[in-house]
Amino acid sequence: MTNDIFEMALQALRCCNFSLKQSKVAKLSQLINSDHFACDSSRVTVEAVPDPGRPCVPVLVHPTQVPRRRLGSVAGRVGLIHAIAHIEFNAVNLALDAIYRFRNMPPDYYRDWIRVASEEAVHFSLLNNRLHELSSQYGDLPAHGGMWSMAVETDYDVMVRMALVPRVLEARGLDVTPAMITKLSGVGDTATVAILQRILAEEVDHVRIGNRWFKTLCEQRGLDALQTFSVLLRKHGRIALRGPFNRSARLQAGFTDAELAEIAELELEFKNQLLEQKVPAPMQTS
């Protein structure tokens, strides 16, 4: 049995069965948080992971093909919980890939990301248990397959990964979760509300971890964090920044006022670009 954290992270990442994946995450966490933690980056060659380990269901479709339902019905709540469970499952894999892929980082980096993987696994379990309570389970509905594409797109640089996954994709959860909590409270689904409240509190810390390492890496490379973030967002412009943004939660998660202002400006810029692409060119007259 290996005790190399990179090999263990890869094994967990490729594991398709969630219970076994969670067990592998727990063993990796125990090793990384032990007094004997060390990482030998020379032992395991870094491989591309175009498809992480996941069950054969749910069927992955384009985001526009995922059905939307009103939360006043059980079916609507199942649809929402299933969608969030899918995000949390992907988040486990994203955290494992952050450990496996990026070598020669300080020990605290690996301790941070194994904690994220462990907490995301708990989030998924809580949501899947809730689905069972509603006579459903993860995999019963289709889910969108776009989340892992950002892992592939940012696999060339840990700084880019920290900029665009925790600070954009995961931070999106800080923006939308409070509204979901309000709607679910309105229909009396207190069980799901309690789960989402826990997820929201822990996701603030996950985004904070991304902020910490992105800014640390920028400082080490002599880069301005705000300017670098703006450049990366434009380079990977298919990431749609969508407001309104949860200002208080983002500030708690380590964003600055200047960054939030830049994000708001970029959102407007990207929105205007989309509008321009949809407007037909004016007819030429002779």
Structural domain contains residue 53? no
Q: Which residue has the tokens 């995301």?
A: 120
Residue-averaged pLDDT of the chain: 89
Confidence of residue 69 (pLDDT cuts 50, 70, 90): confident
- What pLDDT sits at residue 41? 62
Res 284: pLDDT: 37
Does residue 51 belong to any structural domain of this protein?
no
pLDDT of residue 148: 86
| pLDDT at res. 1 | 53
**Tell me: the pLDDT tens digits for 21-62?**
999 999 999 999 987 776 666 666 788 899 999 999 998 887
Torsion 50-53-75-130 (CA) sign: negative
- Banded pLDDT at 240 (limits 50, 70, 90): low
- Band (282; pLDDT cuts 50, 70, 90): very low
Cα-based distances in Å from 190 to 19, 70, 123, 182, 237: 26, 17, 16, 10, 38
253 has a pLDDT exceeding 90: yes
Name the burial class of residue 144, with classes exposed (0-12), middle (13-18) and buried (19+) by CB atoms within 10 angstroms of its CB: middle
AA letter at 199: I
pLDDT in tens, 263-280: 998 888 888 877 777 644
Taking only the tens place, the pLDDT of each residue in 138-159 is 999 989 877 788 899 999 999 9
Residue 144's DSSP bridge partners are 61
For the ranges 46-50, 76-80, 190-194, 256-260, which has the lowest average pLDDT?
A: 46-50
Domain assignment of residue 220, yes or no: yes
In this structure, which amino acid lies at residue 155? D
Least reliable range by pLDDT among 21-25, 45-49, 99-103, 252-256: 45-49
> Is the model's pLDDT at 283 over the cut of 80?
no
- Joined together, the tokens standing for residue 52 give 């992480």
Element (H, E) at 146: none
Q: Please state, in angstroms and rounded to a whole number, the distance separating the CA atoms of residues 2 and 250.
A: 39
CATH code of the domain containing 136: 1.20.1260
Please count the structural domains in the chain: 1
Is the Cβ–Cβ distance between 197 and 181 less than 8 Å? Answer: yes
pLDDT of residue 2 exceeding 90, the answer is no
The predicted pLDDT at position 149 comes to 87
- pLDDT attached to residue 260: 94
Predicted confidence at residue 43, as pLDDT, reads: 64
CA angle at residue 139 from 191 to 177, to 5 degrees?
40
Neighbours of 41 (CB within 10 A): 13
What are residue 236's phi and psi, to 5 degrees? Answer: -100, 55
Range of the domain at 108: 5-41+59-277
Q: Answer whether residue 196 is part of any domain.
A: yes
pLDDT of residue 286: 30
* Residue 134 covered by a domain: yes
pLDDT band at 162 (very low <50, low <70, confident <90, very high): very high
